[in-house]
Amino acid sequence: MTDRVALVTGATSGIGRAVAVRLSADGFHVVAAGRNAARGAVTVDLCRSAEFIPFDTTDEADWERVTTGIVTTHGRLDAVVNSAGAFFSKPLPDTSLAEFRALWEADVESVIMGTKWAMRAMRDTATAGSIVNISSLAGVIGLEDCAAYCAAKAAVTHFSRIAAVEAGDLTPPCRVNSLNPGVILTEMITNAYGDSPEVRDFVMDGNALQRVGLADDIASAASFLAGPRSRFVTGTAMIVDGGRGAD
């Protein structure tokens, strides 16, 4: 797959960085996108073949610039992993509309625009590509004090199903899936709750596999969905949670 090109947003840390590294190891040239150039350079250094592009995923002009630039430079765009997002935990009565809207913009609108511009690039280059939208187990089950986040990720999960139907109408058809991680130990968790034995116990609590979920676990699933091994998989929500949501 050395001639294939993948765009990974949110690639400066956490799941996004792990996905970028894994896709590069699997033979993609990776365009790692994010807001922090210094952290993006670290990601590029960890990859076999990659470049960094500064990117605000909430700005549609940036989506047009980046996807058009990739097609102009590389002639194709085979996979897009929409990993950029935000998180906060707060009781619903204390959540302001402004906070809800900011999270919606970061977690939902960015994915909608990313899917749209990925489909356009794949359509215009006649590429049978794959779009992977990082959602969450919270998009399938409820989590206390996370109403805004759960609503946003539920939107991403269902939007991906609808987008898969439309992507199937392209020539050749493209694939769209959501990837729904459970609680994974990344900066998103440690920034919100700290990194302590208690936090790690929380991350592991309820997992049937009885271990902490790591970004590499999600990267493996993202690589499967982005690549040809999942060529008959579209419109699905792949839950990767160690069994946390099974009960």
Catalytic residues: 149
CA distance 114 to 46: 24
Question: Taking a C-beta distance cutoff of 8 angstroms, is the pair 23, 30 a contact?
Answer: yes
